[in-house]
Amino acid sequence: MGSNKNNVRVRYAEKSRDATCSFADRVARLVLEKYDVSCPRELKLSYKQTVVAGFLIEDAVTGTLECVAVGVGTKYLSSTFIQSDPNGERVRDSHAEILARRSLQHYMYTQLERAQRGQESMFVRRQRSTRSENHADVMMSCHPFTLCDNIFVHFYSSSVPCGNASIKRWAHPKRPTCYDMPPTKYPKEQHPPFHIMQPDQGQVAMLVKRDGGTLSHEELSHACHPHIIAPGTAPVCCGLGCTKTCSDKIAVWNAVGVQGCLLSCLVEPIYLTTCTIGRKFSLKTCQRALCCRMSGFVSDDQVYQVHHPSMLQSSVKFDSSMVRDTDIKSISEQFSGAMFLEPRCFWWASNGTMPSGGSSGVINGSTGLVPHDDADHHQQSSITEVCRQNFLKRFRNAWLTHVQQSSEDMCSAAELNEVLNSTCAETKALCGAFMFTTYPAAKLKLMNNFFKMTLK
């Protein structure tokens, strides 16, 4: 850190920090290396600052760790755009963590299709048991595919997720313990018991990504007092947005799985083993925000319950540039200390066969569509591979294949016809109503219990 003759302070964009373990740095390097080789050079150069997130697959037998999904971005749609998109053709949330998860779902559909063809996959077909099992085992056996026993899923974000995880309150700050472990190993600590002490301050509250409004963050914070809100967010019921923050979405993943509703019809819940964070990491804050505030949740059929991944900090810097404090202060009100100016976002998903192979795309985070070529003014923006509409098509194909391959009557012809000819939202509701999955009921119970805690 230093200053020039005009007394303008210059500092590193990211502070130096210690890694929880070598595995955390290994995770960060793999994701950032994949970003570096897959993201178009022109787009990388246009980013002043951004966020990169990714998912990795660990094979515990071979000791390999592979990045299979990457997301880059900081944008999301306005409520107006969301309301005008009933068919799910636009990507509503292009924050890096959410795009990475969509890329993971893209990868999981590819793996599921391989498993259905009898090819090597992260999924294996479940053998139905004929012996008596407990209720949870019986319900879990309804999923035709399960994750291979030796496969584990890991998550990385170059910066702490927006929302609750960025509020460093209600816990004494503590440096994360550093473990002397080989890069193939990671700590598996029990999270301490979590106590809701300040519900009126929003300790466990859900927040939305702020959409419009004339109040500054300070004015909104004063109006919501004593409720504490993170910069760029707003309370759920104040009418300033409808897109949940990344902290809230990750917490939901840790309760009902990262696979989502449609895939849950075919694969059992998939949970994160570790969460690795770069800048602004706080151990107790991330534990609270990303899983522990959901503690005690178990679905009625006992298939879904809160999982507590190991929270790790990486010392690897994504942004090693220098910044001037005058630059930061001039935009701090709108961007909370970061220059997230580039509207274009990026995603990449492995094809699961070659280390360098995969699908990728650029999304205009302000429209949720693939941006058109500026040189061709007649070209229309198109939908991306990772939008809801395209995932619905892949689900329909996978479900139809499952019905055709199954020796049992999975559903009636009328039920199948409804599932194959409905919108994404309708299909999710039908899958729950026809008991193809209990995910919708589990998520509804989770959200109802969550709001009860919020309103205490």
Cα 45 from Cα 63, distance rounded (Å) = 34
Asked if pLDDT for residue 455 goes beyond 60, the answer is no
259: its two tokens:
């696979």
Distances (CA, A) of 58 to 80, 185, 310: 40, 11, 15
Question: Is residue 423 within 8 Å of residue 87, measured between CB atoms?
Answer: yes
Give the domain ranges of the chain: 19-126+138-454
Asked if pLDDT for residue 270 goes beyond 60, the answer is yes
CB atoms within 10 A of CB 404: 9
Cα 289 from Cα 202, distance rounded (Å) = 11
pLDDT category at 395 given cuts 50, 70, 90 is very high
pLDDT category at 339 given cuts 50, 70, 90 is low
Q: How does DSSP assign 2-19, residue by residue?
A: EE-TT--EEEESS-----
Cα 347 from Cα 39, distance rounded (Å) = 8
At 26-61, the pLDDT tens digits run 999 999 999 999 999 999 999 988 999 999 999 999
Asked if pLDDT for residue 453 goes beyond 80, the answer is no
Residues whose CB falls within 8 Å of the CB of residue 397, separated by 6 or more in sequence, listed in order:
113
pLDDT category at 135 given cuts 50, 70, 90 is very low
Task: Please count the CA atoms within 13 angstroms of the CA of 272 that sit on its side-chain side.
Answer: 27
Among 129-138, 262-271, 279-288, 322-331, the range scoring the smallest mean pLDDT is: 129-138
Question: Is residue 57 within 8 Å of residue 77, measured between CB atoms?
Answer: no
| H or E element that contains 26 | helix 22-38
At 431-444, the pLDDT tens digits run 999 999 999 999 99
145: its two tokens:
């595919």
Residues whose CB falls within 8 Å of the CB of residue 16, separated by 6 or more in sequence, listed in order:
315, 317
